[in-house]
Structure 1
Amino acid sequence: MARTVSRASVNPAAYDQYAWVVSDIRDSPNQMGEEELTEFRQAGYLCGGTDEEANYDAFVPAAHERLYEINFQPRQVADWIWFYKAMFTQVGVRIPFSAFQMALLNRISVSPSQLHPNSWASIRCFEMVCEYLDLPVSVDVFLFFFTLTNPTKEGKHRKGFMSFRAAQGRKIFGLFEDSYHGFKDKYFKVRPAKDRHPFWLSLEGVRLIPTYWSFGAGANSFIKVVYKNMSAVDQQIAEVLNAVFGKNTVNPHLLMGDRESGRNYILDMSASVTGLPDLFQTFLGGGDEEEDNEQPAAETSTAPPEDKTTSGPEGAVGGSGISTQTAQVEVDKAVHSSPPREVVGQGGSTSAPDDDVEVVIPTPKRKRKESSSPEGVLTVMERNFDASNFIDTQLIPGTEEYFHESSLAGQARWMYRTLLRGAVIARKAEFELSGMESLRRRLEASGKANNELKGEVETLRQQLTQSSEKLDAAEKKATTAEQKTIAAEQKLTAAEKKQKESDATIERLVEREMALEGQVGAAQKRVAEVEEEKRAVEVELSTWKAKYKDVVKQGRGAILATEEALKAQVKIIAPEFDTSAIGVRKVIHDGKVVDASMK
């Protein structure tokens, strides 16, 4: 057994890189200890106790690590893949995954640990049902019946566990658990053992499935599958599953318990719908050796005709589904042919025998069963299955060589699936035919009612004519009203246009008014300054006037004094001279001394 390592150490992120994860998962630290993980490995839950156990090591995460955390340092820390305990212990998942599981996870872009346990139960049920009914396991058929959802209450910007819910009107499985609790806090890491290659990587190192949680989980435009876009084989598989389990859904607990009980449970449900309880045993039950050599459909993958059967992630992963590789069923030791290859959509298994090897198709001996027919007549289902004679008598002319070159097991499988689909159709037809008489009576009653309705129809036709006339008048009124409405709308548009122009004009005037108010304010300020300057000038002028009066007065005094001095001098010189003619206010005019005019 591979070793169980203590605790992995990864430093917590420096910032919140997981804001998109819902709060209840962020608040769920791991409660699974080293002792519990060791018991888990010893019980063989991881790989089913097979030799694969030695290929993988399991780790208990560090205390700060959570189920959704991603390895952002792959060069320093070895990559791992997350798993939670419940998907192995309660649902029965094992690694390495089947080719169908790998293809489905790749298609929906969801890591195994981000898928809810109920969804893993749906995947397991689908694989087991297809195996027990010997139907190819197809991703397209599964996604036709199921829709991937993100059932969180914290909005579309948060992601939690992704879930598959039944598509509307196409529910074939019940819930594994109505309310699932106690699985979120027990999880662990898995890495490949030294020098071992993990199933989730290709040989080139490319991831075949997501190994870490992602906000983009389920964001794939190819997840939604509609019936008309499915292949013909997938459509037939979907019809069979819907007919068998559409009205009576599968109970996962009854199916996923004991393998033999689960197989009988599915076959009984199929028989209750098709009416063919021994269909599988009649056409495929060749004995214990044949059943032991048959490989389950859910655990195989598609391979080219020249390749050997392979399993695991290296099997083909297609966009439209996974077809199963049916193991060679040795009906008789005398059958010499190459291993058959089942091809989805080709009507069964075909083989390519070597050119130099003779193909011998024997008639297997089978015990005749008692007839269930009331007349004692054996039906095709109840006869001994003489494959070679049946094929020779029922073949379309010209196709013998193709069937003679095919293995008996492949032909038996093709006929089994064809009759299973035919039985479903016939079962539906029985119900329809049983109601024909009732339909005939209803048709007669409908004929009578039809005659009575003819008169009502004529009356209604007349009323319809009157209503048409009233409708025409109403349409005319409506047209007139519409024209008036258009005219009113045009006027309203013109008024709105004028209103906009008026608003623009008012806006410009307001701006101009504000500018003028600014200019007036500046002018008023300038006037105040001028008034102040005027008052200063007036004060200065008054001062100058006072000085001027003093100067004038002093000048007049000086003139008069000069005049008196002059007169005194004249008196001395010429005492008899009349000095009255001498004065500062005297002027000579026309040779005479006269007084100057005073202005």
Structure 2
Amino acid sequence: MARGAIHVLPQVVPEGCEWVDDAVLGAKSVVDEEFIKYFCQHHRYRVGSVEGKKYRVIAPGPEDRACYVDPEGESCIFLYEPIFTKVGIRVSFSEFEIGVLNECEIAPSQIHPNSWGFIRAYEIVCHEFGFPTSLGVFFYLFKLTKPFSKDKQQWLSLRAHQGRKVFEMNEESVRDFKNLYLKIVSQPGSSPFWVNDKGEYRFPLSWNEDWINPRVERNELGESELLFLDVLSECWGRKDHHLPTRLLLTQSSAYIQKEILGVMSGKSNAYDRFKAHLLSKSKRSAAAGGSNSGVSNATLSPSTLSAQEVDNSNRDVSQTRKRKTFEPKYDPINSKEFDHVGFAQEYLVGGNNKIPMDGENFMKNLEFVTRSSIKAAAICQAAQNKLKGCVVVPEGEVEVLRSRVRALETEKKVIEGEKFDLSSKVTNLEARIALEAQEVDASKVLVKRLEKEKADGEEKYRRLYAEFKMKIENQKRLETELQAAQDLCDKFSDDALMLAEEVAQNLKEQVQVLLPEFDVKQIGPDFKVVDGVIVRPESVADEQVHPEKPVGEGSEQVPASEGSPVARPAMSDPPPTPPCPEI
């Protein structure tokens, strides 16, 4: 993913797009209304029918992706901004561009912007040659490929077939384009160019997993296509010399004609054969159309033709831009339509510098020569009057000035190309600024949210700290109350113990009074009745360990350890308790 790109997967992957790579699905458009306003202000001529408002450029929605068009929604296409600003593609597409998409069965956004440069450069070359844009020649030179080592599909690219490279790679390839796509929709009531007369789509609007890679062999091309292909192969099919794609996209037609195509005349046998073929077809076409005007000065208009149509089309004429041949007009000498200079070139200084001597035209032609001479003298006199006071420049200096003008024109074209490049860079920088502005806005929103969370946290901390202090105070109060209760409980325990001892002592004294012979020492909390005998718990344990030693009357047990309570003597047959006397 390019630096600065935004990667946000849609909440719901569109149906049928599971095969599309996450780099495409995650490329959310950063185009907003401000970006659209700038684009329409500086590049509105790239979108056709601007005056008629046939199409609208709008910002994609948050869930829109360049690979998918909702079939139940508004009819639209997605296009990347660089194919307008760097490649020169326009809406509506040309018939050739539509033909490429239709043959490959792909959507416009499915082709990498760099490959759109090859499509446009090929169109420009065909136009400058005066040759119809042939899909056969194009797919003979190029093939459609997807990125290597990709399980899921990304953008497709056009590459030259092995040994058929004619166009060089663009030196300034398009980068950072993934988030810069626009949404093109047609105005209500108008039919978009991607729909034919039958209401059918001329090419897919959404990405197609089962795209086609057309392949054309040489034996499938027509005569004109073969001659055109020979020109491309001979002139630019060499290893170290290919057509400069960047210059074709950025320079003017005059520059291309002079610097790129103009060097071939007389140097390339294939180019000379191609020109002769087109000129011959032009003459045959003109003769078939009933024209008696000689050589036609019409040029070919780029259109998409098949191999047979390229050879059999009656619209083929000479690709050379001939100057209009002078035809003498025998109008009155003072008529505005009379071409005096042409007449002189044709009959006085040209190859046909003999005046016809047939009796009917001799006097007429002689009169025209005389009158044209008088007219020429008048023109010269007027020119002399206008040139009085002007500085006369020697012929050598004129040539120097002309060379300087040509150099300045070349420099101007270079500056225009640099201006175009700078304009594209400015557009990209503005897009990056817009992207960074969005990131800054998102950061500001995040900072505000964090500040609010901080304030809420501080308020919660103060509240919890107050509750904590209150709980500490409650804990201290409860500890104080607990200590007081513990002291009261201890005091109550001591008082209860003393009271219990006093009660026990009182009971013993009462028993002693009632039963003087009874040993009151056998009464206590440590004594228990076992088998009708009052014994201590230690005595019970000893009996279990040493059953052969019963506890006899008057005997005492030795405690097992220091601090153990001493067992009281127990009688084997205690005397019966006398009945309590009545009081």
Q: Give TM-score, length-normalised by structure 2.
A: 0.46
Q: Give TM-score, length-normalised by structure 1.
A: 0.45
